[in-house]
Chain A
């Protein structure tokens, strides 16, 4: 179970205090497939960052399984991101110097896994996303869809509990976008908890539960029990 209660995130802009999150609460069990939607500035990216351990809430509580993530220090958050979270970004965020295999290895390097073991696992993950034959290619030698699949393989490297995808199809054409979505659905069907952030209604429609954001608040929550 992942749960957060009354999460607030405020920023000081000059004299004004701006609330990116004005107090949101939600809980969802393992294996959920959520889409978070809303216009830009609605607070959905802020929530993503907090859920992924890249940021801390100003107030409120974030419980991951039984761990209170909202009070971890920097090193604790780094460990949390490394072990629990897989990130997929709109712009892929692959390191251009590294091959597909090395990119996938990266989270395992920070987990302290031996070279031989992580090579094997990285190759396995690339095979899982259908890129077994591209493992020595650099990101620049691959199409956008292939790059996003490398990024997904990387997000799976440390066997995370939660996959966070921020506009994962935003930089892809619609057919490769569909392939990527199919991959998320496959991963979810294998038990992985997936949260998508998107403003694409078609993408959101494929998720089992859809949470709508506006002005830092949750304004809709559909399909929770289905």
Chain B
């Protein structure tokens, strides 16, 4: 018998019960759609994280306080701030291959100027901050070290802040109130747009570290402590060595004995990238598990209906055998039916999954990337599901005794 006739038989059997066939495929449709949607969103999220990480600045090491332990109770990271401006200075002086070191404090503050209000992030920084974070001044200037040391209340603002407070007017030389302290605007940053984390990077105010610490975030940051030290290595090759040297130096300065945990954490982009990749790997495993479960559920649905079909069509099978169908012809016919049901579900699921991912991307302004393997993999898997779960019913059909089968009512 010819294969196109087998396909025709399978198609006509499926078409004979359109509703039942559709419901049978539904399990696979949902499974494949869910997997495609989730991988697309997951991949989009991963790309967003990647761009966010690279948006922090190149060759960057971020030092932040670690969770300290009091007794046996681990406290939240940063609960006892342990890094200081002096640490930053020491790193700048003693570690080779450092392009910039920028100790930073930050807070959220209400801004006011010329009768308008805006709530923004304020960071207390040193001029090196621009170098460390790959920022540039678009208008005016950055405050210098002398101004910083003198505790001058000058500020460089992001373009979002400039627009919200001053509209089209020139903000240079204007005064803004940060919390309750007046600052003078000396510069505007070049726009950087939205970060990969969805944060508006232009919605920021930079002020000299001493002034911001004492006037804006004072209560939360004691003494000389800072929340973050950004270290920019001179080159990518220096990155890991700089991180090691800085870690060693900080351990010495903090008198951490051999074997004790750091009271700070130093991460570079590579390690953050690694962490995010580990998270992605976990996500992928999870996804594979969900996919496997949903495809098995879909497959069991197909197997169930195929068993019903074999019982229902026992006489048909007997008749086919009587007029000359070989056992293998029956086997292939039913296996094809099962694969066709599953594959149709897979194709529909793929389309729904892509559509759903597009919709979510559009509604949630969430980046979306449909992985190139989504189509071949989901179609391959749905075919395999049809084959595996159709195998037993098809085999049963092919083993029927034609005499018994013809006698069945």
Contact = CB atoms under 8 A, between A and B. Distances in A.
Interface of A: 49, 52, 54-55, 74-75, 78-79, 81-83, 87, 89, 93, 95, 97-98, 106-107, 109-112, 154, 158
Given A81-B324, A110-B325, A111-B1, 8 more contacts: A74-B326, A78-B327, A81-B322, A82-B324, A97-B12, A97-B16, A107-B324, A154-B323
A35 B304 CA distance: 45
Contacts of A83: 324
Nearest to A95: B316
Contacts of A79: 324, 326
Contact of A158 (B318, B321, B324, B406): B324
Given A93-B319, A97-B12, A110 B324 contact: yes
Nearest to A118: B5
B2 interface: yes
Interface string B129-173: 000000000000000000000000000000000000000000000
B324, B327, B406 pick with most chain A CB within 10 angstroms = B324
Q: Is the interface of B mostly helix, strand, loop or mixed?
A: helix
A74, A106, A109 pick with most chain B CB within 10 angstroms = A109
B315 interface: yes
A74 B398 CA distance: 11
Contacts of B320: 106, 110
Interface in B1-49: 1-2, 5, 12-13, 16
30 contacts: A75-B326, A75-B327, A75-B328, A78-B321, A78-B325, A78-B327, A78-B329, A79-B326, A81-B322, A81-B324, A87-B323, A89-B406, A93-B315, A93-B318, A93-B319, A93-B322, A95-B319, A97-B13, A98-B12, A106-B319, A106-B323, A107-B323, A109-B1, A110-B320, A110-B323, A110-B324, A110-B326, A111-B324, A112-B2, A158-B324
B327 A74 contact: yes
A154 B322 CA distance: 11
Nearest to A107: B323
A65 B1 CA distance: 25
B403 A110 contact: no
Contacts of A54: 321-322, 402-403
Contacts of A110: 1, 320, 323-326, 329
A95 B322 CA distance: 13
Contacts of B13: 97
B222 to A, nearest CB: 84
Contacts of A74: 326-327
A109 B321 CA distance: 12
A148 B383 CA distance: 40
Interface residues of B, number: 23
Contacts of A81: 321-324
Nearest to B17: A97
A214 to B, nearest CB: 21
Contacts of A49: 403
B406 A112 contact: no
Contact of B5 (A55, A109, A158): A109
B319 to A, nearest CB: 5
A55 B401 CA distance: 9
Nearest to A89: B406
A112 B12 contact: no
Contacts of B326: 74-75, 78-79, 110
B1 A87 contact: no
Contacts of B328: 75
A60 B321 CA distance: 24
B13, B322, B406 pick with most chain A CB within 10 angstroms = B322
Given A106-B320, A110-B320, A93 B325 contact: no
Contacts of B327: 74-75, 78
Nearest to A151: B319
Q: Which 9 A-B pairs have the closest CB atoms?
A: A82-B324, A110-B324, A107-B323, A78-B326, A93-B319, A109-B5, A54-B402, A75-B326, A97-B16
A75 B398 CA distance: 12
Contacts of A154: 323
A167 B326 CA distance: 26
A80 B314 CA distance: 21
Contacts of B315: 93
